[in-house]
Amino acid sequence: MKRINNIIVTFPNSSKQQQADNEKIFNLLSQLQNFKLKNQDLVSVFSGPLSPTTILSTSRDLVYPQVSFNTNDPMSLKWIANNLRFGFNLDNKAHRNLSKSDKKSPHTVSIDELENKLSGRLVEMNHSGINFSPKFIDKSSYHEFRSNLAQRSNLYQYPTGEEWPFIIPATKEEFQSDITNELLNRNPKFEVVYSECNKNSLIQLDFKTNLTKEEAFELFPDPYGISYDGLEDFFRTVFVKVAWGSVLLRFDIGFRKEGKDFGYWMIKDGGRIKN
């Protein structure tokens, strides 16, 4: 079984507004310590031989975002959740508008405001991810997708029971067995959130920052910044105004803190998903 060697998160770049948005987003994210610019893409870098690599890219052939889990074999599978396309070894061919956005979309902040407030504050990307609802993808299709992820990566269950599995970058040997070395920085990880709480599909980017909790709340007060129940002490969430139609862009602003990354908690207490 060929494992996933890179995860390509591609932003649509087909309109002048999308191009302007992407330029500002990439300018901000180019400050991350665990990414480097390569041929106009942002590519994650690790301290060891870990896979998968996360690549942030753009395409003028897309109208909506997509996430492709790439392997070195010819297999190709795809799903579409409210205009968010994801799957294995995808091309960049545009797909038609399948559904409209939810009228109860959250408050958003402009990219200009985000860039102004977060410039110099981002340290590294902890993880990227996709979020979507059972109303967009039925449970059997979702489990088919998750099973393919599990067979081709080190995929771990979130220990508290929510359907928030994470791909954690690993070596070739760890893919065959399991992750035991807790000394490596394995960020960015990749998260999949399958939940009825999602009114729209979205791309999620989660960051380690140099902000305290108090500073993050001051920069992004209610209702433009929100906190999820039980996670108030870990990050502040903002939704970014982008020209993507029904697919949202979410930034999770992690607070400054020391300690071991929660990925090792998932490995030990959540356990690896095998299929």
Q: What mean pLDDT is reported for the chain?
A: 93
Q: CB of 238 within 8 A of CB of 220?
A: yes
Q: Is 224 strand, coil or helix?
A: coil
pLDDT range class, residue 264, cuts 50, 70, 90:
very high
Mean pLDDT of all residues in 143-167: 97
Query: How far apart, in whole angstroms, are the C-alpha atoms of residue 149 and residue 143?
Result: 10
Provide the percentage of residues in the chain whose pLDDT is more than 90.
85
Tell me, what's the pLDDT at 246? 85
Tell me, what's the pLDDT at 237? 97
Tell me, what's the pLDDT at 260? 82
Report in angstroms the alpha-carbon separations of 34 from 71, 77, 190, 224, 233: 22, 29, 14, 27, 24
Q: CB of 127 within 8 A of CB of 190?
A: yes
Model confidence over 126-147: pLDDT tens digits?
A: 999 999 999 999 999 999 999 9
Mean pLDDT of all residues in 43-70: 96
The torsion defined by the Cα of 35, 37, 40 and 42, in degrees rounded to 10, comes to 0
Mean pLDDT of all residues in 95-101: 58
Mean pLDDT of all residues in 171-181: 96
Query: How far apart, in whole angstroms, are the C-alpha atoms of residue 176 and residue 17?
Result: 44
Tell me, what's the pLDDT at 98? 57
